[in-house]
């Protein structure tokens, strides 16, 4: 049972709590999005690009680093949001009892959970902004439409944050997050058109890739950063929106079942 009537703008106060905590450690948190793209572009641009040469994508030829860059942002969005609502939310819920304390105040469970998801999306969007800056320095982003990456990162962040919180609602122990990471995150990272176009996959594997939310985020980020895409953009936005809504509902449902006894 989800109590929609208990959901209000008050969730912003929980978001603020995460923001205040984050400010204490933001310098460390921003190192990853700052240097990760540099490492990837260096490894793939210098080492790997020699093997592949140019990539044909959406009817055009791109250098491998240019092809890869938007996908790096999409993958970072996934990781930031998913790890925030799995490991970090689980620590807040189970070890720090943060939610128990909040539930003695005029906040509802629905507000706390929505705030967790929105926070994870904000963090993902902040990481995307930094990566966008770094990758632009390498000349790998087409401005100004590359700015579309930011709202896309937020939407993708909601989707991956929601699915992460859903796993937090059902997982018995923190060690077991290995399972959704191995079965869900890693295959998505590899097969969502991140490192090679999905059009290169054999016919039977394509529907699988198309069902991955990361695929749609990667494609949308490419549209923003490269000006090319292999999907129908509105369909991809629709898919991510439905995915986000569905898993937000499931997260609220299972977190209520888990916390309210």
Partner 1 sequence: MSSRESILEVSALRKIFRGRTAVDGVSFRVAPGECFGLLGPNGAGKTTTIRMLYGFSPPTSGTVRLFGMDLARDWRRIRARIGVCQQENTLDPDLTVEENLLVFAGYFAIGRREARARAAELLEFFALASRARARVMDLSGGMIRRLLLARALVNRPDLLILDEPTTGLDPQSRHQVWDRVEKLKASGLSAVLTTHYMEEAARLCDRLVIIDHGKILVEGRPGELILRHVGPQVVEIGGPDGALREYLQENALPHDDLGERILLYTAGDDGRVAAVRERFCLRRCTFRDATLEDVFLRLTGRELRE
Binding-site member from 86, 108, 192, 229 for partner 1 (CB under 8 A) = 108
Q: Does 16 bind partner 1 (CB under 8 A)?
A: yes
| Nearest-10 Cα torsion for 244, 246, 251, 252 | 110
Cβ-based burial of 170 (10 A; exposed 0-12, middle 13-18, buried ≥19): middle
CB 118 within 8 A of CB 244: no
The answer to the question of residue 28 lying near partner 1 (CB under 8 A) is no
- Residue 103 or 181 with smaller CB distance to partner 1: 103
Is 101 near partner 1 (CB under 8 A)?
yes
In the numeric block, which tokens belong to residue 93?
């819920």
160 contacts 124 by C-beta, under 8 angstroms: yes
Of 7, 34, 38, 103, which one interacts with partner 1 (CB under 8 A)?
103
User: What SS3 class is residue 34?
Assistant: helix
56 binds partner 1 (CB under 8 A): no
Residue 257 touches partner 1, criterion: CB under 8 A = no
Judged by CB under 8 A, the number of residues near partner 1 is 23
Binding range to partner 1, per CB under 8 A, among 8-16, 52-60, 71-79, 125-133: 8-16
Q: Is 27 in the site for partner 1 (CB under 8 A)?
A: no
The candidate with the shortest Cα–Cα distance to 245, out of 256, 237, 233, is: 237
Question: Under the rule (CB under 8 A), what is the footprint of partner 1?
Answer: 10, 13-14, 16-17, 20-21, 24-25, 96-98, 100-108, 260-261
């Amino acid at each position: 049972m989800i109590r929609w009537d208990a959901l209000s703008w008050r969730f912003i106060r929980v978001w603020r709590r995460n923001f205040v905590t984050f400010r204490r450690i933001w310098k460390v948190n921003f190192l990853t999005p700052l240097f990760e793209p540099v490492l990837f572009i260096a490894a793939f641009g210098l080492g790997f690009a020699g093997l592949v040469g140019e990539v044909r994508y959406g009817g055009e030829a791109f250098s491998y680093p240019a092809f890869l860059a938007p996908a790096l942002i999409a993958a970072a969005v996934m990781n930031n949001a998913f790890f925030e609502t799995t490991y970090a939310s689980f620590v807040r819920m189970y070890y720090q009892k943060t939610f128990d304390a909040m539930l003695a105040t005029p906040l509802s469970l629905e507000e706390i959970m929505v705030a967790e998801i929105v926070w994870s999306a904000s963090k993902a969007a902040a990481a995307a902004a930094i990566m966008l800056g770094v990758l632009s320095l390498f000349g790998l982003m087409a401005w100004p439409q590359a700015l579309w990456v930011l709202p896309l990162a937020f939407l993708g962040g909601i989707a991956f944050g929601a699915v992460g919180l859903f796993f937090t609602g059902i997982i018995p122990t923190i060690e077991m997050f290995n399972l959704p990471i191995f079965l869900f995150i890693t295959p998505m990272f590899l097969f969502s058109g991140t490192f090679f176009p999905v059009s290169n996959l054999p016919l039977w594997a394509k529907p699988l890739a198309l069902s991955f939310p990361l695929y749609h985020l990667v494609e949308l980020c490419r549209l923003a950063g490269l000006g090319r895409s292999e999907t129908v953009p509105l369909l991809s936005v629709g898919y991510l929106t439905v995915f986000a809504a569905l898993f937000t509902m499931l997260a609220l449902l299972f977190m209520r079942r888990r916390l309210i006894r």
